[in-house]
Structure 1
Amino acid sequence: MKLRICLCISVIFCVTVKAQSNTEVYLFDLVLQNDKPLLTNPKNISNNDGYDNQPSFWDDDTVLFAATRQDQTDILQFNIEKGSTTQWLTNTPTGSEYSPLKIPGKNAFSAIRLDLDGLQRLYEYDLKGESSPISDLKIGYHVWFDKNTLVATVLVENRMDLVIINLSDSTHSTVARNVGRSLHKIPSIKQVSFIDKSKKDWAINALDVELKTITKLASTYQKEEDICWLGPNLLITGHNNSLLTLDLSKEEDWKTNISFEQSEINNISRIAINPSKTRLAFVAEESPTAIVQKQVEAFNNRNLDAFVARFSDNVSVQRFPDNSMYQGKDNMLENYERFFLNTKSSKVEVVQRIALGNTVIDEEKTWVDGREGHQVAIYKINNGQITSMTFIFPEESLSDAEAVVKDQLKAYNSRDIDSFLETYANNVQLLNFPNKLFASGKKSMRAQYGGFFDSTPDLHGEIKNRIVIGNKVIDEEYITVNGNHISAVAIYEVDNGKIAKVTFID
């Protein structure tokens, strides 16, 4: 069982860093029922392989967002009532546009333009695509306070500062440093919310634009920086595949309202609602399991380009734990091109799949020109692509490998330190994936697990999935510790009837 997680319960509250590639924009009908959002009629309105992001509502029935086409990012308009039609509003071969927002009192919108020469400025666009610069500042994100006033983040060194820009007299003033990207007008009052990232714990603050005073409203959920206002006191944010709300009028914490089971929805961000609060849009990434499944399907279709496209440029491929086979997409392309040329048929069938965070572990049956094989593939995913692929092959088979691991689980749940350690070799090694040693030997394990067993009366480990391959047992574990629940993956290696190595995967 996982020692480091069990001894450091704070790992539950780890931060997930969001990436913004291979994203899609989703639209829902919204009903607020007792201040709880109910979402129906889901629709992927971008449906594009690439970067689609930063939705905002032009009006109740029209969404603007940034979308990629032909290696550039332009602004796309999606009209809900007119048969869900789309129309490109910009076409800038010399650059790309991001973060579109309707300009108050005008039939026009603003957007950040990043030119190929690196120049980044805020522009005004009419609906015919004509544009003119609004400000010379290097603006990252913005919100319109009124037709003459912008609140924006300005890039300064390696941070963003919050700036009030007066367009009437072309003046600006910095009011906060090190802020996040989420800027919103607060309903019913003349204030703008922003994320203060200057301290360890991020805060949701309110800026009185006229008085230039700042008030803390709440803490973010963990370190999620994308929020939206459902009402004067009601906030919504995304975390992984869930939406959470916070009622500022009550002394309560963030509450999970909706969790999506679709594999297409993961790492929710950039939430927006229409003026009448009847529709909600957000951005989501493909889940790691969806990404892995697409590469499996591409392999089975022997579509080399589609297969390789799922991997990062510097992908590493190795045998467990860290014996390098090759590195880089070019080498992968060469290897699999040769493989497809030299074989008539090939197929992978996923027997079991374990998913934990950005790690996907597949137990696979393989067929190559009629020859059947058995393997495990461990995929690491980042920024919407597979960054590493580690293979485990059944190099040796031990009939007692699973039995030994079962015995250690039974002793673990009984908190029987002697029986627990009896299942381990004297020189057992505990490692973090792929091969980083952090503890070794029974003496060390006894010192740590002995007190841990004594202080956790509700300790219990449940196996959600188990893969057995050769002398290795891979367990997806659901652990209860002092009322907390933790998911973990452990790879047990059995030698001479004892557990010789345990590799933990976060």
Structure 2
Amino acid sequence: MRTLLLFLLCPFFAVAQSNTEVYLFTITPSENTITLTNQQNISNNDGYDNQPSFYNDNQVIFASTRNGQTDIASYNIRDKKVAWINDTGFGSEYSPTKIPNQKAISSIRLDTTGLQRLYRYDFKTGKHKEVVKDLVIGYHTWYSEDILISSVLADGGLDLVVSNLKEGTNYTQQKKIGRSLHKIPNSNLISYVSKENEKWEIKSLNPITGATQKIIETVPEAEDMCWLINGTILMPKGNIIYAFNPKTDTRWRMLTSFQDPNLYNITRVATNPTSSMLAIVSDISPEVIVQKQLDAYNARDIDAFLATYTNNIQLFDFPDKKTNEGKEELRKIFDAFFKRTPDLHAEIKNRIVIGNKVIDQEYITANGNNFSAVAIYEIQNGKISKVTFIR
């Protein structure tokens, strides 16, 4: 949105989803650290792309938006192509995970009816069947093909539940846990994030004996993690990935800090079985979203321009006078304006990014006239939700 307006007359997954992308890196080990190279955006899709895991060393599976729902996508690293595992039409799938010793994956499905259950999907055919009845599973990992470890919705939070599929039993190990569940490499243990105390802790669990042990406190308020094959934990927060190896480290150390604005808020990390690759998920930064809007404005591309806004976008004159509301109202105004302004161009003289807000000082050309203005953009879930203009 340019300031020319100044001059013109449930369930668990049923929440607003952010605009995220999945990136893939090559992991190169060196003395006491690792280097991440060969950055690729493997989702490259407008909407929710999240929850990556590795089916094998050549395929990354993740939840991806298409046709108004979330399905399971598979990225072939060698061929650099995306394929789709399922097309059920019953609802949306999340958290796809390889099932041990099977050519199949498990995924949480949120049906259009609101029912949320864990399903098994054949990797080749997409045929599906329910894995565990009655449990509302949010996140999961496999200890073996018969033992499932899950974060289960209960009493407004998540419980750690061990399910023995062969025996048909479900045992609640602990209440108040996080979403990140992983098999610890070269061990018979699972890791999980305990939220019982004010300071969150990464703990290990032996699903057979029930024994637990604290490993380390999490990076403050960080939620997601993964294990490298050498026993190092990676945990992201903001644009930084931290590392901790229980065998050699006494505290978290910064592994890498990304300067790419596309990687400003990393929320997920996952590695392949040999730890030669790392998949990460990042929200699209407010700066990138506003820049896409600027580029579409200068190209006078009405559809690309409107794609950067929420459906209920609100426009204000500073400080709080509402002038316009709704994407369709913007279409009526700007479609005609773009067509009758062939020299339209906005240049950014200064830009400040503070949290989810982008403040642009703009120099605008339109029909032979030039003028300056300021716009304050507010971003919610990957879209511009509010713009305030200062005359």
Mapped to 2, the partners of 1:103 and 1:288 lie a distance apart of: 37
1:60-99 paired onto structure 2 within 5 Å: 60-81=57-78, 83-99=79-95
| Residue of structure 1 aligned with 2:41, choices 41, 44, 47 | 44
Aligned residue in 1 for 2:54: 57
2:197 to 196, 199, 205: 199
Corresponding position of 2:213 = 215
Farther-moved stretch of structure 1 (204-213 vs 134-143): 204-213
Structure-2 change in CA distance of 1:233 and 1:161 (3 Å): same
2:194 and 2:350 map into 1 onto residues whose CA distance is: 43
User: Corresponding residue for 1:30?
Assistant: 27
Q: Is the 8 A contact 2:229 2:273 kept in 1?
A: no
CA distance in 1, matches of 2:236, 2:153: 25
How many angstroms does 1:342 deviate by? 6.0
Give, in angstroms, the shift of residue 344 of structure 1: 5.0
Q: Partner of 1:310 in structure 2?
A: 308
Q: Is the 8 A contact 2:18 2:283 kept in 1?
A: yes
Select which of 234, 237, 243 maps to 2:235. 237
1:450-503 deviation digits (Å, cap 9, x = unpaired): xxxxxxxxxxxxxxxxxxxxxxxxxxxxxxxxxxxxxxxxxxxxxxxxxxxxxx
2:8 aligned partner: none
| Map of 2:11 onto structure 1 | none
3-state SS of 1:313 partner: strand
**Per-residue deviation, 1:91:** 0.8
1:145, distance to aligned residue in structure 2 (A): 0.4
> Does the residue aligned with 1:264 lie in a helix, a strand or coil?
helix
* CA-CA distance at 1:388 after TM superposition: 1.7
The more displaced of 146-155 and 259-268 is: 259-268
- After superposition, the C-alpha distances for 1:149-197 in whole angstroms (9 at most, x for unaligned) are 0000111242221110010111101111122111101112211111122
Q: Which amino acid aligns with 1:194?
A: Y
TM-score (norm. length: structure 1): 0.70
Q: Which residue type is aligned with residue 90 of structure 2?
A: T
* 1:65 positional shift: 1.3
2:110 aligned with 1:121: no
List per-residue Cα deviations over 1:298-325 (Å, max 9, x = no partner): 1112222221221223333222222322
Aligned pair 1:107/2:103, yes or no?
yes
Counterparts in 2 of 1:407-486, with a 5 A limit?
Answer: none
Q: Which amino acid letter does the alignment assign opposite residue 144 of structure 2?
A: D
Higher helix share: 1
Matched, 1:327 2:325: yes
Matches of 2:189 and 2:312, distance apart in 1: 45
Partner SS state of residue 146, structure 1: coil
Check conservation: 2:265, 2:283, Cα contact below 8 A.
yes
Asked if structure 2 preserves the Cα contact closer than 8 Å seen for 1:186 and 1:232, the reply is no
Cα deviation, 1:175-225, whole Å, max 9, x if unaligned, reads: 111221111011122111111223332221212211213222212212111
**In the alignment, does 2:223 pair up with 1:225?**
yes
Distance in structure 1 (CA, Å) of the matches to 2:277 and 2:16? 25
Quickly say closer, same or farther: Cα 1:331–1:86, change in 2 above 3 A. Answer: closer
Helix, strand or coil: the match of 2:262? coil
The answer to whether the 8 A contact 2:229-2:274 is kept is no
Cα displacement (A) at 1:20:
4.7
Shift of 1:248: 2.5
Distance 1:232 1:340 in 2: 57
Unaligned runs of 5+ in 1: 1-17, 394-506
The size of the alignment, in residue pairs, is 375
| 3-state SS of paired residue (1:354) | strand
Point out which structure has higher relative CO (alpha carbons under 8 A, 6+ apart): 2
CA distance in 2, matches of 1:254, 1:25: 25
SS at structure 2 position matched to 1:293: helix
Mapped to 1, the partners of 2:342 and 2:109 lie a distance apart of: 49
1:66, 1:97 within 8 Å by CA — same for their partners in 2? Answer: yes
Task: Show the counterpart of 2:9.
Answer: none
Q: 1:40, 1:340 → 2: CA distance?
A: 41
Amino acid at match of 2:111: D
Identity of aligned residues (%): 42
What is the one-letter code of the residue matched to 1:288? P
Whole-angstrom CA distance in 2 between matches of 1:21 and 1:290: 14
Cα displacement string for residues 211-250 of structure 1 (whole angstroms, at most 9, x for unaligned residues): 2132222122121111011245421111222211123235
Residue identity opposite 1:363 in structure 2: Q
> What SS does the aligned partner of 2:303 have?
helix
Report what 2:356 is aligned to.
358
Secondary structure at the aligned position of 2:313 is classed as strand
4+ residue stretches of structure 1 with deviation over 6 A? Answer: none
Whether contact under 8 Å (1:243, 1:259) holds in the other structure is yes
TM-score computed with the length of structure 2 as normaliser: 0.90
Q: Equivalent residue of 2:305, what SS?
A: helix
SS at match of 1:290: helix
CA distance in 2, matches of 1:359, 1:346: 25
Q: Which moved more, 1:309-318 or 1:50-59?
A: 309-318
What is the identity, as a one-letter code, of the residue corresponding to 1:84? K
